[in-house]
Structure 1
Amino acid sequence: MLRDEIMEFYRQGGEHSRLAEGQGRWEYLRTWDVLSRVLPTAPAKVLDVGGATGVYAEPLAAAGYTVHVVDPVPEQVAAAGRHPGVTAAVGDARALPAADGSTDAVLLLGPLYHLVSRVERVQAWREAARVVRPGGPVVAATISRFASLFDGFTKGYFDDPQYGPIVDRALTDGVHANDESADRTWFTTAYFHRPEEIADEVAEAGLDLERIVAVEGPVWLADSRLAELLADTGRTELLLRRLRDIEAEPSLLGASSHLLAVARRRQPPGAGST
């Protein structure tokens, strides 16, 4: 289901701790902030596709949601299934093991950026549209086209001469190609989106795009100060509040490491709003 280098990357177990501090913690807090505003109220059913070790499934279940994780990495499925109230199974975003209209919301917080082919990404969107109820949200994460360029400076990756060509390819056609010959501490093979591409994929899949928002915004570039800011509850709340004000500003979308697209399955003619 996954390319060999992608499977190996996730079998290293980094998803257990990636969102615990620094840039990862800010990504988590902002993603949770958006989810808390767009998901239907508990006890709705949430299908968490590519949910990894259950980092979002666990708090969703604790909040009263019925959560099922589908992920291609067996070790991550096992970890997710150990959380109270969470069920999990090995599966593929392009062929979901769920009936039509059987869930209230679908999360695609991991699959889209590991489907390098546009055809496969649209298929994942279509599968999400198929299994969500009419009017239900599909919330999907993508990585910005420019993320590896910024990472090269904030994390010092450009010190390795192999990194520059990877960035050049990503900037040219969106493919961040990190195969077995490159440094495994860098992000694995992925597709990095331009914001306008997301809208095109959503439309082709037959969903209605509600909005695209920046997850971290430009704040993630201040990596050296993030730990200090997030250690202070007041500053964290201020960051969250101010980022909500500009999260959908088109001119800032490309400066965020991750983007979230919120789309909805179309209502049948004459149906009421959700």
Structure 2
Amino acid sequence: MDETPTGTQPATSRIDTSVAHPARRYDYFLGGKDNFAADRESADRMMTALPTARVSALENRRFLRRAVEHLAGEAGIRQFLDIGSGIPTSPNTHEIAQGIAPDARVVYVDNDPIVLAHARALLTSGPEGATAYVDADLREPRRILEHPDVRGTLDLSQPVALMLVAVLHFIPDTDDPRGLIAPLIQALAPGSYLVLSHATLDFMPARAAEHIRSLTSAEGFYPRPRAGIETLLSGLDPVDPGLVPTPEWRLQREPAPRPSAADVAGYAAVARVA
């Protein structure tokens, strides 16, 4: 197996090139070059089961842009905690937010050393705002909340947008995804928001969905039905248009034609913390 990604970023001693990582697999879906053979092989297996996986990845990035534009603009949010941020792909959360509000402050969280290397090199803030990167896992919410770079960049007594875009479908039910994110949501001040997108097989025939589920779970990928995703939003107030297929969330400014719900196979929502 090759020991360097298809790009120029060198591997570090912490990178296990034999195991696929969601951030590098996502990079491959988006046409990036910071991925290894294991990531590409895993992605190709997923695309065999879900031929539109690349379309879904692109639509998740578009949803992120629309959500951040809404929050930094209409909602007036100036702080963002982006967990499972992945390898930087422009426009990033801070680029979108600071393009609207130059004083916006953003913390990225991921657990891949390649993401860390890119973040340190590329995720630079404008002079009025701030960005930071935390090397941590969503499965360690307390560690994230107590990290000095989170505490030093964000004021958790003020509203924050918690970004969980295309990340919770990598957490199996046995790891209790709602329980994992509960401390994060509880730490948010009133007027904060949760930004969520999540894969689903709801738009496929039942027999095909069951077959795909058995294939994708072997890759550490766990699509959920609408009811399971609604559970992740429990106690929050979804903003219009609520939990909808990802390509349909505030699509008015997107060029036509748009991909279908079946093409993207995901739901998305932005919900307010009361």
Shared fold (TM-score, shorter chain, > 0.5):
yes
TM-score (norm 1): 0.61
Contact persistence 1:52–1:77 (CA under 8 A):
no
The structure in which a higher percent of residues are helix is 1
CA distance in 2, matches of 1:169, 1:238: 30
3-state secondary structure, aligned to 1:176:
helix
Q: In the alignment, what sits opposite 1:185?
A: none
Query: Higher relative contact order by CA 8 Å / sep ≥ 6: 1 or 2?
Result: 1
- Pick from 216, 222, 247: which aligns with 1:216? 247
Post-superposition Cα deviations, 1:106-158, rounded to whole Å, max 9, x if no partner, equal 100133111012652102331331232212110011001257x69xxxxxxxx
The residue correspondences of 1:172-187 to structure 2 (distance < 5 A) are 176-178=216-218
The residue correspondences of 1:112-151 to structure 2 (distance < 5 A) are 112-117=168-173, 120-146=176-202
Q: In the alignment, what sits opposite 1:259?
A: 267
The alignment of Structure 1 onto Structure 2 pairs a total of residues equal to: 207
Superposition deviation, residue 32 in structure 1: 1.4
2:126 is the counterpart of 1:87? no
Post-superposition Cα deviations, 1:218-269, rounded to whole Å, max 9, x if no partner, equal xxxxxxxxxxxxxxxxxx84428x89xxxxxxxx866642221222222xxx
2:250 is the counterpart of 1:207? no
Q: In the alignment, what sits opposite 1:59?
A: 95
Structure 1 residues 79 and 167, CA gap change in structure 2 (3 angstroms): farther
Post-superposition Cα deviations, 1:58-77, rounded to whole Å, max 9, x if no partner, equal 42354232111011222212
Contact persistence 1:208–1:265 (CA under 8 A):
yes
**Percent identity of equivalent pairs:** 15
| Runs of 4+ residues over 4 Å off in structure 1 | 4-7, 11-14, 99-103, 164-167, 252-255
CA distance in 1, matches of 2:20, 2:263: 29
2:109 is the counterpart of 1:70? yes
3-state secondary structure, aligned to 2:185:
helix
CA distance in 1, matches of 2:79, 2:23: 28
Amino acid at match of 1:137: Y
3-state secondary structure, aligned to 1:216:
helix
CA distance in 2, matches of 1:7, 1:207: 36
Gap runs ≥5 in structure 2: 1-15, 33-53, 126-130, 147-155
2:227 is the counterpart of 1:196? yes
CA distance in 1, matches of 2:18, 2:237: 30
CA distance in 1, matches of 2:97, 2:120: 11
Superposition deviation, residue 207 in structure 1: 3.0
Contact persistence 1:101–1:133 (CA under 8 A):
yes
Structure 1 residues 26 and 93, CA gap change in structure 2 (3 angstroms): closer
Structure 1 residues 11 and 113, CA gap change in structure 2 (3 angstroms): closer
2:101 is the counterpart of 1:29? no
